Amino acid sequence: MDIRCGNGFDVHAFEPGDHVVLCGLRIPHDKALKGHSDADVGMHAVTDAIYGALADGDIGQHFPPSDPQWKGAASHIFLEHAVARARRRGFEITNMDCTLICERPKIGPHAQAMRAEMARIMELPLDRVSVKATTSERLGFTGREEGIAALATVTLVAS
C-alpha cells in the first residue's frame, strides 16, 4: 500500500481589522490577518500538508504571492486545487488534522463549524476531519497576539 503523510505549517500576522477567516469561517475579531489572499492560516497549512504528502511543492509555488490574481483570493481555491491534484494522482485523503495556535479569537465555539466547512470543501466525511486549537501560554508571537500559527497533518492512501 502507498500511504503518505504530509505536514503543513503557516503563520499570518495581525493587522487592524474587524474579522479573521479561519478554516473557511469568518469570525468577528478586533484584528484581521494580514496576507495576500484572505490569510486563512488554517486552510493554508492543510493545503501545504496535501502538497507535502504528494511531494508536489508548496502553496507559494502553485499560487505565487507576487501574482495579482490571488490578491484577496478565498483560500478554498488553494485547498480545492491540492485536493484535486491528490485525487488525480490516485490518492484518497483518509484524514486531516489541523491545529490553530492563538490566544484569541477563541476557537472552541467555532471548531465544529470549521470542521464541517473543511469537510465540505475536501469532500470528506466529518469523522475524518479534525480542527482543534491551543494557545502558547502567552509565550512568543502567538502569545503576544501578534499573529496566528497553524499546523496540519494529512494522510493519503493510494486508492
Q: How far apart are CA 150 and CA 131, in angstroms?
A: 10
Give the range of 8-16, 49-57, 61-69, 136-144 binding Mg ion by CB under 5 A: 8-16
Give the range of 42-50, 66-74, 117-125, 143-151 binding Mg ion by CB under 5 A: 42-50
Q: Which of 10, 38, 48, 117 binds Mg ion (CB under 5 A)?
A: 10
Q: Which residues contact 13 (CB under 8 A, 6 or more apart)?
A: 33, 34, 146, 147
Q: Which residues contact 21 (CB under 8 A, 6 or more apart)?
A: 27, 33, 38, 39, 40, 75
DSSP class of residue 140 equals H
Q: How far apart are CA 142 and CA 159, in angstroms?
A: 39
44 makes contact with Mg ion (CB under 5 A): yes
- In the complex, the smallest distance separating the C-beta of residue 9 from Mg ion, rounded to whole angstroms, is 10
110 makes contact with Mg ion (CB under 5 A): no
Cell of residue 149, nine digits: 500559527
Q: Of 44 and 76, which has the nearer Cβ to Mg ion? A: 44
Q: Of 41 and 91, which has the nearer Cβ to Mg ion? A: 41
- In the complex, the smallest distance separating the C-beta of residue 132 from Mg ion, rounded to whole angstroms, is 19
Interacting residue ranges for Mg ion, rule: CB under 5 A = 10, 44
